[in-house]
Chain A
Amino acid sequence: MSEYILEMRDVVFDYPGGIRALNGISMAIEKGKKIAVLGPNGSGKSTLFLHFNGILRPKSGKVFYRGQQIKYHRDYLVNLRKNVGIVFQDPDIQLFAGSVFQEVSFGPMNLGFSIPEVEKRVVEALKACGIEELKHRPTHFLSFGQKKRVSIADVLAMDPEVLVLDEPAAYLDPKHEQKLVELLEELCRKGKQVILSTHDVELAYAWADYVFVLKAGRLAAEGTPQEVFQNETLVKEADLRKPQLLEICDILKQKGFVFNKMPRNIPEFREELLIYVES
């Protein structure tokens, strides 16, 4: 049986004023898999994420971390938040300190590390995000892409086991998005559990091992990207779009093309084409 790192059972959550954000969600996140959560705006993605580290407490239902039910008392939450780090969508809200160095040191300082250890972690986190040269810059002089990377370094400096990113690719230019994907790949290789939410079906298809689709506070579907995106009715119902690469592959398949393995990105696609042409 596979091991689950985070699990939710029948979670219901209402915002003040009775707005139902989560309407009975059950999901289990398998350890070591790259997870993407898809869904239209207002489908409850951000609310869901805030349940992962105990910021929000479900009205009913249970949340489990490493098979253990989350308890909402201080000691447990401190430990949970150390292990599950959230990168928020808007870096202008997450970044509060005057300089980048101060900003990134906030998390590890809260964890009570010694000063040299905090320093080491800050430098490592900045290096991992490729922004060492911004160390002593004031936060308000950074560009959006830089702020985004600082907000990721913020959480990396705490060295969490699970990294949750809310719309990490939003507003990023293609180059920075590419760099972000590379950074996420690197983190996964190092054994971090990465969970992200996105609207970008191409990104989800190319990157994720497993996707969850949310709609109106419910889980509309889950499965591997191939399974989910090939289900035409589901794609339509969840307001998604079929990834273009998958669309092309399907057309080729209809024309009698045989794939050894469904390609998930352009290099894989090119390889498949070459194999086909040669045979």
Chain B
Amino acid sequence: MLIDNYAYSNRLKDVHPAEKLYFAMTTMAMGFIPNIYLNMAIVSMMGALLVFNAKIPAKVFLKTLLLPLWFVLIGILTIMINAVPAGSSALIKFSLLGITLGITQESIKASAVLFSRSLAMVCCLYFLAFTTPMVDIFIVLRSMKVPGLFLELMELVYRFLFVLMETSERIYISQSSRLGYMNAGTAVRSLGRLISSLFIKAWKDSESLYTALEARGYEGEVKVLTKKFPISIKNIFLITSVEFLLLVFAWLSGGGAR
């Protein structure tokens, strides 16, 4: 939710969302080239853009980068450590329950590529998430002719996620101020009640929402007017050349781990 805050206040919020989406997606596509140097270049480029152009505090960016790191580390550990044939030239070998496990040069390389690639992808997504409010992404998706029903659902889910969070927080506060979370027993009971009352409330509220929409002439399709953004040819040109430079860089640095 912290990211959502920045999405509405960062310095790149008025750039056309399609440009940002184009940039994030093409850079992501570049990231699939198996080249550690290229991936690291993407990570630093996205980091620099977020910190210097979008003015996201570096500390915040690094902290959010730590979040997926654990997943990635656990993931690559399983790739790094493999069952190896008895006579092979592994760097480290050990036996577990009669199976020889080991780390080979190839497995290190594979995991390094995977690690840098996931980091690069995460940075591309973070760039989009930190600079582009969801509302703007919906605008682009709509112009890309994503089915209306699907988009409306996404929009409603996004809006009511916050209402749901606020409501559950209010229930939680009122429960804990009546000592609902004093010990494990009361906590389990309180949580159960919180969830069930949240469900009932959501059900009732959805009915009221329908009434409120109906009162304003809703006939099965949510029609709203969206904000307009200026399209900058300069930006599109800039993004395309950056992607081209990345491609050149990948070619020059020669594959890295191959």
- Chain A interface residues (CB < 8 Å from chain B): 50, 53, 55, 78, 81-82, 85-86, 88, 90, 92-99, 101-103, 105-107, 109-111, 115, 118-119, 122, 136-141, 154-155, 158
Q: A88-B212, A97-B224, A102-B225 are in contact. Are A78 and B8 (CB under 8 A)?
A: no
CA distance A92 to B156 in the complex (A): 12
Main secondary structure of the interface of A (DSSP, over half): helix
Q: Does B208 count as interface, using CB distance less than 8 angstroms?
A: yes
Count A-B pairs with CB separation below 8 Å: 101
Between A and B, 28 residue pairs with Cβ closer than 8 Å are A50-B211, A53-B215, A55-B215, A82-B217, A85-B215, A86-B212, A88-B211, A88-B212, A90-B208, A93-B205, A93-B212, A94-B212, A96-B156, A96-B212, A98-B133, A98-B134, A98-B138, A98-B159, A101-B225, A102-B227, A105-B224, A109-B225, A110-B219, A111-B217, A119-B225, A138-B133, A140-B163, A141-B8
In the bound assembly, the distance between CA atoms of A111 and B158 in angstroms comes to 25
Closest to A79 in B: B217
Q: How far is the CB of A66 from chain B (nearest CB, A)?
A: 18
Nearest A residue to B5 via CB reads: A141
Dominant SS among interface residues on chain B? helix
Interface residue? B178 (CB, 8 A): no
Residue of A nearest to B209 (CB): A93
| Residue of A82, A97, A119 touching B159 (CB-CB under 8 A) | A97
- In the bound complex, do residue B212 and residue A109 qualify as a contact, i.e. CB atoms below 8 Å apart? no
**Chain B interface size, under 10 / 10 to 19 / 20 to 34 / 35 or more:** 20 to 34
B212-A106 in contact (CB<8A) = no
Contacts of A88 in B (CB 8 A): 208, 211-212, 215
Distance in angstroms between the alpha carbons of A81 and B159 in the assembled complex: 25
Take A50-B211, A97-B155, A141-B8 as given contacts and tell me if A107 and B205 are in contact as well, using a CB distance cutoff of 8 Å. Answer: no
B158 near A86 with CB under 8 A, answer no
Residues B215 and A86 in contact, CB atoms below 8 Å apart: yes
Which residues of B approach A to under 8 Å, CB–CB? Answer: 4, 8, 133-135, 138, 155-156, 158-160, 162-163, 166, 205, 208-209, 211-219, 222-227
Chain B residue nearest in CB terms to A155: B216
Whether B225 lies near A122 (C-beta < 8 A) is yes
- Kindly provide the distance from the CB of A162 to the nearest chain B CB, expressed in whole angstroms: 12
Contact of B135 among A138, A154, A155 (CB under 8 A): A138
A139 to B218, CA, bound (A): 19
Residues on the B chain within 8 Å of A53, using CB:
215
Instruction: Give Cα A84 to B209, complex, Å.
Output: 18
Whether the Cβ atoms of A81 and B216 lie closer than 8 Å is yes
Give B154's nearest chain A residue, CB to CB.
Answer: A98
Docked Cα-Cα span, A136 to B208, in Å, equals: 25
CA gap between A107 and B217 in the complex, in Å? 7
| CB pair B225 A118 closer than 8 Å | yes
Known: A96-B209, A119-B225. A140 touches B216 (CB 8 A): no
* B216-A158 in contact (CB<8A): yes
Residues of chain A within 8 A (CB-CB) of B159 are 95-98, 139-140
**CA gap between A86 and B208 in the complex, in Å:** 13
User: What would 13 more interface pairs be, CB under 8 Å, given A97-B224, A109-B223, A140-B163?
Assistant: A50-B211, A78-B217, A81-B216, A82-B217, A92-B166, A98-B138, A99-B135, A99-B227, A102-B226, A102-B227, A106-B213, A109-B225, A122-B225
Chain A residues with Cβ below 8 Å from B222 are 96-97, 106
CB neighbours of B133 from chain A (8 A): 98-99, 138
B154: min CB distance to chain A, Å: 10
